[in-house]
Amino acid sequence: MPYPQIINLLNSTAWAILPEKMKVIMDFLSIRLANQTTVPIKAASPRQYSSPNKKVVVMGMVGTISQRVDMMTEYSGGVSTDSFGKVFDDAVSDPAVKSIIIDVDSPGGSVYGLEGLTTKIRNARSQKRIIAVANSLMASAAYYIGSAATKIIATPGAQVGSIGTIAVHVDQSKAMEDAGLKYTFITAGKYKALGNDSEPLSEDALEYYQGMVEQYYDMFISAVSSGRGISKQKVKEDYGSGKLLSAKDALKVGMIDQIRTFEEVVNAEYRRYQR
C-alpha cells in the first residue's frame, strides 16, 4: 500500500488509540512521504502458547491494533483483529482448553474490527474463562477488547484506559503547492470528496468527522458498559474520560479486577487445572 493511500485511510476513519501513538504514526508517515520510501505491510499473527496440559492458552495482543493488516508492523509491531479472532475461535472450539489468557500490551488502534472481536470474546465467556491482562499497557482499543473478558487483571506497573476516539486530518495542500501540484476533484454527490487531504478541512467535513468520532465513542462506552456490567454513565464519569490510569487507580474505580504479575496470573490458571 503506497503511503498516499495510507494517508487517505487516516483521513477517513476514527481511531481508538493513544494520541501520542497517533502522533508517532503521523510523524513516521511524514518522514516516509518526504523520502518517498516504502515499508512492506503484512498481516500480524498473534503469538500463542499453551500450558503443558493444554488447558490454558496464552494469546498475545501486542502493538497497534488494525483489522486486516498492520500499517506499522515493521515500525512498531501490531496485531490484526481478524487474525486474532481466528486463533481465538480455534481456542474456544477446542474442548481441551478451559482458560484463555490474553496478554495485552497495546496503545490501541483502528476502530475497524473492534466490535466484532469484542462481541466474539464476550459471547465466549459462557464457554471458557477469559482473562485479559494489562502487561503493561491496555489503552483505548485494547481496553475496548479487554473489557469483554471474564476478568481484567493489571500488572503492578501497568496503565489502563484512554477510553475515547480520535480522528486526524492531514492537509497536504501546502506541500503539493510547493511541489507544483494542484488537484481538482470532479464529483457527483455533495460530500463525495469530503475531508480530502488536498485542501484544508472544511466546516462540513469537520462536522462530519466529529459526528463519526462521537458515534464510535458511544460504541466504545456501550461495549465497556456491557462487558463490565456497569452503567454507561459510570464509564463516562469514573473510567478516566480519555486518561490513562495506573493499575492502582484503575482498581479503585472498577476498571480492573485485580493487580498481579503476569507470572502469577499464568501460574494460577495452570494450577487451577492440575487438581
Three-state DSSP at 147 gives: coil
Identity of residue 34: A
Give the SS3 label for residue 141: helix
The residues pairing with 60 across neighbouring beta strands, listed in sequence order, are: 103
φ/ψ of residue 104, rounded to 5: -105, 130
Beta-carbon contacts of 254 under 8 Å, excluding residues fewer than 6 positions away, are 228, 230, 234, 238
Per-residue pLDDT of the chain (275 residues; tens, 9 = 90+): 444 555 555 555 678 887 777 766 666 555 555 555 444 444 445 556 677 678 999 999 999 999 986 455 445 568 999 999 999 999 999 999 999 999 999 999 999 999 999 999 999 999 999 999 999 999 999 999 999 999 999 999 999 999 999 988 888 888 888 889 888 888 899 888 888 888 888 999 999 999 999 999 999 999 999 999 999 999 999 998 899 999 999 999 999 999 999 999 999 999 999 86
Handedness of CA 123, 128, 134, 137 (dihedral sign): negative
Superfamily assignment of 3-168+199-265 in CATH? 2-enoyl-CoA Hydratase; Chain A, domain 1 (3.90.226.10)
| Mean per-residue pLDDT of the chain | 86
Segment holding 59, helix H or strand E: strand 56-62
Each domain of the chain, given as residue ranges in start order, spans 3-168+199-265
Q: pTM to 2 decimals?
A: 0.84
In the block, which residue shows the cell 474490527?
Answer: 113
Cis peptide upstream of residue 231 (ω within 30 degrees of 0): no
Tell me the chain's radius of gyration from C-alpha atoms. Answer: 20
Q: Are strands 56-62 and 64-66 parallel, antiparallel or unpaired?
A: unpaired
pLDDT at 34: 58
152, exposed or middle or buried, with CB in 10 Å at 0-12, 13-18, 19+?
buried
Q: How many Cα neighbours within 13 Å face the side chain of 153?
A: 20
